[in-house]
Every structure is written in C-alpha cells, then in structure tokens.
Amino acid sequence: MSEARLATPWKTIGFWCAIIMGLAQASSALRAFADPAAFAIYMGLPLAEKADSGFVWVYALRTTLIAFLALFLAITGRFKALAVIATVALILPIGDAWLSAQAGAPNAIVYRHIGIAAFLGFTAVMLFRDSHRSAVA
C-alpha cells in the first residue's frame, strides 16, 4: 500500500522543518569534508591528531545520505516515512550531546546538540501530523 501524500506539501510546517533539517545536514557534510579537524572541534570531539580525520569523513559521507533522504522525502511529500526516520534519528543528536559532554566539550556545544534534538523531535511531530492530514484528505 502506498503512502498518501499531500498535493501541496510545501504548505505545511513539517515540510519546511524537514527542508531545514536536510539543508542543515548538507551543510554539516560540506563543512566536515572541507575541514575535518575544525568540524570535529565544532562537534565537541576534537581530533587527537589531524591524521585521525577518517571518522569525520565517515560522518560526512553518511550525513550526505541523510541530507539527500530528508530532502527527497520532503519534496516528494512522503511525510510518514520521514517522520519515522526523524523519530529514530533522535538518537543521533542525543548521542552527540552525550559524547561531547563525556569528552568535556563546552556546555554551549552540548546544549546545541540538545537543541538539535528538540528541533528534530518537533519536526517528527509536525511530519506525523501532516502525514495524518494527508491520509484523511
């Protein structure tokens, strides 16, 4: 059974939250590719040595996929699938907050990760709401 889709997905809060989420992920991926050491510091997990940037590249590659999926699902109006992904993805910023706190990152970095989790949770709620509306319509 295919998922019901809104005829005009861009007229919903969930759509715009998902677009912001996808563009933020694309931006993070580009920043990680451009300067892995600086991005590791931004995440609150500085590299011991610049040569240790392999995992930042792994992050960037996976984040590129997440960005593409978020944007594709939003643009095609597949809100329920995107809502489920956003809900499961909450483990990412929560994990980032925990890892950066354990590494002794400044509170501002830890709180930024928590803020990202809050935005992602809000996005998931809006996407579930919008997917329900499209199923009813």
pLDDT band at 5 (very low <50, low <70, confident <90, very high): low
Length of the chain in residues, anyone? 137
pLDDT band at 108 (very low <50, low <70, confident <90, very high): very high
Determine the Cα–Cα distance for residues 99 and 87; give it in Å rounded to an integer: 20
Is 52's pLDDT higher than 50? Answer: yes
pLDDT of amino acid 1: 44
Evaluate whether 53 touches 47 at the Cβ level (below 8 Å): yes
Determine the Cα–Cα distance for residues 31 and 27; give it in Å rounded to an integer: 6
